[in-house]
Amino acid sequence: MTKRSQPSSIDILPEDTKALIGKLRLQGRTIDEINDHLKSMDVEVSRSALGRHVKKLAVLGERMRRSRDMAASLVDRFGDQPDNKVARMNLEMMHTLILDVMTAETTDEEGEPMPVTLDPEQVNYLASALRSLTSAQKTDEDRMFKIKAELAKEAAKAVDTVSRSQGLTPESARMFREAVLGVVKP
């Protein structure tokens, strides 16, 4: 990714002034109104720098909204499932993060969009993240498969125990296991 050699005139402003810019923008103020307000505070910034900053705020706000929507969607999607919700949510968030990196755009000094470029080290880190993500998904799937298999075994044992105590024939117990539990005992 290309980085600016020096911070913009907005970047060097005190944090409270930058927060004020964001607050005024959220109130619906125009760039000119914000600039006039800054001038009344003896803060001089160019209109174009302010415009770029406001644009960055809008992009950041959109990303935050998408992130909140994604989190809400994940909670809705995995909220009722008893399995490892945190691990699944982390996997989904990592997918989204990688997608954002691969589709992101940066802007040049004039605010024009430029594609994101990655150096070999960044590509290596991304490839490593993808490998880790794939491994984590496989581990999660294997874990769920083992849990389901163990539950099926325990249920089959319970059926055998109950069927013996209730006087069912081994054939009746086998039919019950297969029909209700889907478990075939070897």
pLDDT digits (tens, 9 = 90+) for 129-141: 777 777 777 787 8
- CA 86 centroid distance within chain: 11
Q: Which two tokens stand for residue 64?
A: 């935050």
List, in order, residues 6 or more apart from 164 with CB less than 8 Å away. Answer: 173
Residue 138 has a pLDDT of 79
What's the CA gap between 133 and 137, in Å, rounded?
A: 6
Contact of 177 with 156, CB cutoff 8 Å: yes
Rounded mean pLDDT, 168-177: 78
Least reliable range by pLDDT among 17-26, 126-135, 150-159, 162-171: 126-135
State yes or no: pLDDT of 102 exceeds 80.
no
State yes or no: pLDDT of 80 exceeds 60.
no
Q: Among residues 117, 139, 136, which one has the least CA distance to residue 128?
A: 136
What's the CA gap between 41 and 144, in Å, rounded?
A: 60
Helices (H), the chain: 15-26, 31-40, 47-78, 85-103, 120-165, 170-176
State yes or no: pLDDT of 1 exceeds 50.
no
DSSP 113: E
Contact of 137 with 91, CB cutoff 8 Å: yes
State yes or no: pLDDT of 64 exceeds 80.
no
Rounded mean pLDDT of the chain?
A: 77
What's the whole-model pTM score? 0.43
Q: Among residues 160, 159, 2, 146, which one has the least CA distance to residue 84?
A: 146
- CA 4 centroid distance within chain: 28
